[in-house]
Amino acid sequence: MTDRFGIDAIASRLAQSVPPAVRAVQQDLETNFRAVLRASLGKLDLVTREEFDTQTRVLQRTRERLAELESRLAALEGAAPPAGE
């Protein structure tokens, strides 16, 4: 899975923010930070950017189709004789 949340960047910034005496274990910290962030984000009810973009395209097509159907209905209603005649 692509790192869409900048997990590596966040983990790196967290590791760099620790005191200098602890930086000797920076690689271990970054690895642990990444694991914790991925696990935490994995529990959230999120969608990927790809899924979001796909749904956006589906919604756009649905709106276009609705506009087309509304236009056709309006044309049919305009051509139909009034009710009761």
pLDDT attached to residue 1: 45
Identify residue 64 by its one-letter amino acid code.
E
The DSSP output letter for 23 is: G
| Overall pTM > 0.75 | no
Q: For the residues 19-35, what does the mean pLDDT come to?
A: 78
pLDDT by residue (tens digit) across 44-65?
Answer: 888 888 999 999 999 999 999 9
Domain ranges of the chain: 1-45, 47-79
CA torsion sign for 66, 68, 69, 75 is: positive
Say how far apart CA 2 and CA 21 lie, in whole Å.
33
Q: For the purposes of burial, counting CB atoms within 10 Å of the CB of 15, is it exposed (0-12), middle (13-18) or buried (19 or more)?
A: buried
Specify the range with the lowest mean pLDDT, choosing from 34-38, 58-62, 64-68, 77-81. Answer: 77-81
Record the tokens describing residue 2, joined without a space: 């692509």
Is residue 85's pLDDT more than 60? no
